[in-house]
Amino acid sequence: MSLALPVVVRPLVSLSDLRVELGGKPILRGVTANIARGSITALIGLNGSGKTTLLRALVNEYPHKGTIKFHCGHDHSKPYPEAIGYVPQRLTLDARLPLTVRDFLALTLSRRPLFFGISKKVAAKSREMLERVEVANCLDVPVEGLSGGQLQRVLLALALEPQPELLLLDEPAAGIDFKDQKKFYELIATINRETGVTVLLVSHDLNMVQTYAHEVLCLRSGAIQCQGSPNEILTPINMSLVFGAEIHMFPHRFGS
- Interface residues toward ligand ATP, by CB under 6 A: 22-23, 25, 27, 45, 47-53
Report, in Å, the least distance between residue 195 CB and ligand ATP.
26
Q: How far is the CB of 220 from ligand ATP (least distance, A)?
A: 10
If the CB atoms of residues 41 and 49 are measured against ligand ATP, the closer one turns out to be 49
Q: Which is nearer to ligand ATP, 49 or 210 (CB)?
A: 49
CA-CA distance, 210 to 97, in Å (whole number)?
Answer: 39
Q: How far is the CB of 219 from ligand ATP (least distance, A)?
A: 7
| Nearest distance in Å: CB 35, ligand ATP | 17
* Residue closest to 13 by CA, chosen among 175, 198, 148: 198
C-beta closer to ligand ATP: residue 165 or 171: 171
Q: How many beta carbons lie within 10 A of that of residue 250, not counting itself? A: 6
**Nearest residue (CB) to ligand ATP, 25 versus 96:** 25
* Residues in the chain, total: 256
- Residue 65: its H or E element: strand 65-70
